[in-house]
């Protein structure tokens, strides 16, 4: 069984959630005996990651057991002629092609080639069809979808979504299509439950992710400034991530104009060990998004025994059932109220929250426990 993944950025790049989750899926499928190839652009690769993984552009690399090709481009990522040529001459070798992204032109091109060669494929929108995501460049996207994409993607074997929430958004556009719900499973190899001593030392309120208006970060800053001073003094607000300079400056201006500017820290983009240490030391993560098809940061945080407060625009109602966080209305007062519950919790109560966080992910979202489900899904469509 030969499967090709096509996407715009791939591990060890850290441009977004699919970089890691697609890699973990490909890595564990390879261990299950599936022949996996990843065709990606070089987008997001740092000089350090290129050296550490001995990556050569435009040829096959072995990335933790996965055959991975990172294609160069001219001017910007829309002009990767090497990748376009490679897809034309190689897609027909595969039994199945998994496409990631909905509005990215590279995905359109790959879908067209699949149709020409009659190669089975599926499309993973990755949240791009959610209403709050479509607000940005909405008219352009609507026109492209109406006159072109909805017809192109109808030939897909199925639409791959990561949650029931994403399914409900996507089925409006493809009411007669088949859907498969596959969460973004996480690789927990090397991550263990923190001990009580480490848990007791946790402090700080964390936001980690892209800095974008749809993430609702303003609500978190407002909520933080409503907390009693005794909680603020012991728990800095850490905002980890990057975005457009204009929006970053807007957030920094909001923080600077508050009474607690001294304890609101903008740390920029972090990845790898640095990012994991921040998760490990933080008391609670807040994801106040207005649009989130999944939210990989939730699982990453829980892995490091850090409970999560997530908005109802995310698919994380199960946090409450798992005793590891809250699923709330996206208002500053609701965020503040739940922050106060976590920050004033007794040592016994908080330790329970932290331990439940790790166990929740280990039980429900560990990739090594669930890779058989993914493999069986692809076999079903390849053999039909």
Predicted local distance difference test score (pLDDT) of residue 146: 84
Burial category of 90 from C-beta neighbours within 10 Å (exposed 0-12, middle 13-18, buried 19 and up): middle
In the chain, the N- to C-terminal Cα span, in Å, equals: 13
Mean pLDDT of the chain: 95
For the stretch 302-359, pLDDT in tens is 999 999 999 999 999 999 999 999 999 999 999 999 999 999 999 999 999 999 999 9
Are 215 and 250 a contacting pair, CB within 8 Å? no
Pairing of strands 96-100, 120-124: parallel
**277 Cβ partners below 8 Å, 6+ apart?**
none
For the stretch 65-104, pLDDT in tens is 999 999 999 888 888 999 999 999 999 999 999 999 999 9
Element counts in the chain: helices (H) and strands (E): 18, 14
Q: Which residue has the tokens 């263990």?
A: 192
Predicted local distance difference test score (pLDDT) of residue 382: 96
Predicted local distance difference test score (pLDDT) of residue 137: 66
Predicted local distance difference test score (pLDDT) of residue 134: 73
pTM to 2 decimals?
0.91
With a cut of 90, say whether residue 199 has pLDDT above it.
Answer: yes
With a cut of 80, say whether residue 132 has pLDDT above it.
Answer: no
> In 10 A of CB 124, how many CB atoms?
26
With a cut of 70, say whether residue 200 has pLDDT above it.
Answer: yes
Q: How confident is the model at residue 139 (pLDDT cuts 50, 70, 90)?
A: confident
Detail the DSSP E strand segments found in the chain: 2-7, 35-41, 60-63, 66-71, 96-100, 120-124, 158-161, 179-181, 205-208, 237-240, 264-268, 284-287, 308-311, 325-328
With a cut of 80, say whether residue 234 has pLDDT above it.
Answer: yes
Please name each of the domains of the chain with its CATH number: 2-186+366-383 (3.40.50.2000), 196-364 (3.40.50.2000)
Are 44 and 14 a contacting pair, CB within 8 Å? yes
For the stretch 30-67, pLDDT in tens is 999 999 999 999 999 999 999 999 999 999 999 999 99
Are 267 and 161 a contacting pair, CB within 8 Å? no
With a cut of 90, say whether residue 193 has pLDDT above it.
Answer: yes
Q: Which residue has the tokens 């053999």?
A: 383
Q: What is the rounded distance in angstroms from the CA atom of residue 351 to the CA atom of residue 353? A: 5
Instruction: Give CA 268 to chain center in angstroms.
Output: 18
Predicted local distance difference test score (pLDDT) of residue 280: 97
- Residue 99 pairs in a beta bridge with 6, 123
Q: What mean pLDDT do residues 248-258 have?
A: 96
Higher pLDDT, 172 or 70: 70
């Amino acid at each position: 069984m030969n499967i090709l993944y096509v996407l715009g950025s791939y591990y060890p790049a850290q441009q977004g959630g699919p970089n890691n989750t697609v890699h973990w899926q490909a890595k564990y499928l390879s261990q299950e005996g599936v022949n996996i190839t990843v065709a990606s652009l070089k987008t997001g690769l740092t000089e350090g990651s290129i050296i550490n993984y001995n990556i050569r552009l435009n040829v096959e690399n072995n990335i933790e057991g996965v055959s991975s090709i990172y294609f160069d481009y001219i001017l910007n990522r829309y002009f990767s002629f090497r990748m376009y040529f490679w897809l034309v001459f190689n897609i027909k070798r595969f039994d199945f092609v998994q496409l990631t992204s909905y509005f990215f032109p590279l995905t359109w091109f790959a879908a067209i080639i699949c149709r020409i060669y009659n190669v089975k494929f599926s499309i993973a929108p990755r949240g791009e069809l959610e209403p709050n995501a479509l607000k940005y460049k909405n008219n352009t996207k609507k026109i492209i979808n109406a006159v072109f994409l909805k017809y192109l993607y109808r030939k897909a074997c199925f639409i791959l979504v990561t949650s029931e929430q994403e399914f409900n958004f996507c089925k409006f556009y493809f009411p007669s299509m088949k859907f498969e719900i596959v969460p973004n499973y996480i690789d927990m190899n090397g991550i263990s439950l923190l001990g009580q001593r480490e848990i007791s030392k946790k402090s700080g309120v964390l936001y980690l992710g892209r800095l974008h208006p749809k993430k609702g970060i303003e609500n978190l800053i407002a909520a933080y400034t409503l907390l009693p001073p005794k909680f603020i003094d012991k728990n800095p607000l850490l905002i980890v991530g990057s975005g457009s300079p204009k929006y970053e400056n807007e957030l920094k201006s909001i923080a600077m104009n508050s009474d607690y500017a001294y304890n609101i820290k903008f740390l920029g983009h972090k990845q790898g060990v640095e990012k994991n240490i921040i998760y490990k030391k933080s008391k609670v993560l807040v994801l106040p998004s207005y649009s989130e098809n999944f939210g990989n940061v939730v699982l990453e945080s829980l892995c490091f025994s850090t409970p999560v407060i997530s908005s109802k625009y995310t698919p994380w109602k199960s946090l409450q059932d798992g005793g590891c966080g809250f699923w709330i209305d996206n208002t500053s007062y609701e965020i503040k109220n739940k922050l106060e519950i976590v920050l004033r919790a007794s040592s016994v109560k908080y330790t329970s929250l932290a331990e439940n966080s790790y166990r929740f992910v280990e039980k429900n979202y560990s990739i090594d426990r669930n890779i058989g489900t993914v493999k069986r899904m692809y076999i079903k469509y390849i053999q039909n």
